[in-house]
Amino acid sequence: MTQIVASKVQKVFRTAGLEVVALKDIDLAIGKGEFVCLLGPSGCGKSTLLNAIAGFSLPTGGTITVDGRPVAAPGPDRGMVFQEYALFPWMTVAQNIAFGLEVQKMPKAEIAARVDQLLGMLNLKDFRDRFPKDLSGGMRQRVAIARILALDSPIMLMDEPFGALDALTRRNLQDELLRIWSATGKTIIFVTHSIEESIYLADRIVVMTYRPGTIKRDQRVALARPRDPAAAEFNELKRELSRLVMAEQQRHAAEEMGMYPP
């Protein structure tokens, strides 16, 4: 059953007379419970697309619907992990995680239990009463993830959520996310720069092009989980996607050179 539909989505930014076509003719249908990764060079419009689905910055053309209704405003049904974390610096780690639940008027005891469980899951127990300024980048990222997991939204939009983590923590959280996903049947749109991460996680990998941001390839990943990054099929797919992303990056670099001759 399709849940999120983007059709002919276009986003044009106009600033100081300059026009940037961040997204052009994006057609995408995402089924309920699907795990989709967005892959593409920096600046290709991944965050822009996520922001449009979340309802923060509506497209300048085309439509996006979620569960059949056009997206008009942000809401807790589409929990977002921001690329900039966006933790509230005046709240402690525990308060940051609890805030969304307080807004939903969940009973206090239940909130406390949920927060405890998430702190444990994300290895943040020792930091529950610290303020974000005292945390490392990776810890902040984990708090941002915990905040959205607490919300328990049916759709999770994650903008490079594991970008600042070390390899081991990253793998642990990837596995944890996969576990939550398969247990709850959430729909996940996950932005990443890492080809390996996208193959490890996704049902589908959407490769985007740079300026204008369009969809270059919509790749199904049929490998059985848990996936083994050392397996032959894994690496074959990785090579192919690398070629695709590399070509896109080269085209973009060549264009830049052409635009600004030496």
Min separation Cβ 20 and ligand ATP, Å: 5
Comparing CB distances to other proteins, the nearer of 76 and 138 is 76
What is the rounded distance in angstroms from the CA atom of residue 78 to the CA atom of residue 154?
7
Comparing CB distances to ligand ATP, the nearer of 135 and 191 is 191
Among positions 23, 47, 82, 187, the unique one binding other proteins when judged by CB under 8 A = 82
- What angle, 0 to 180 degrees and rounded to 10, lies between the N-to-C axes of helices 93-103 and 137-151? 20
In the range 21-80, which residues lie near other proteins by CB under 8 A? Answer: 54, 56, 73-76, 78-80
C-beta separation of 200 from 229 below 8 A:
yes
Q: Is the peptide bond before 76 cis (omega within 30 degrees of 0)?
A: no
33 lies in the site for ligand ATP, by CB under 6 A: no
126 lies in the site for other proteins, by CB under 8 A: no
List CB contacts of 63: < 8 A, sequence separation 6 or more: 5, 6, 7, 8, 9, 70
Q: Which stretch binds ligand ATP (CB under 6 A): 12-20, 27-35, 117-125, 217-225?
A: 12-20
Comparing CB distances to other proteins, the nearer of 91 and 178 is 91
13 lies in the site for other proteins, by CB under 8 A: no
What is the rounded distance in angstroms from the CA atom of residue 32 to the CA atom of residue 115?
27
List CB contacts of 204: < 8 A, sequence separation 6 or more: 30, 34, 35, 36, 37, 218, 219, 220, 221
C-beta separation of 143 from 96 below 8 A:
yes
52 lies in the site for ligand ATP, by CB under 6 A: no
Comparing CB distances to ligand ATP, the nearer of 40 and 132 is 40
Positions in the binding site for ligand ATP (CB under 6 A):
13, 15, 20, 22, 40, 42-48, 83
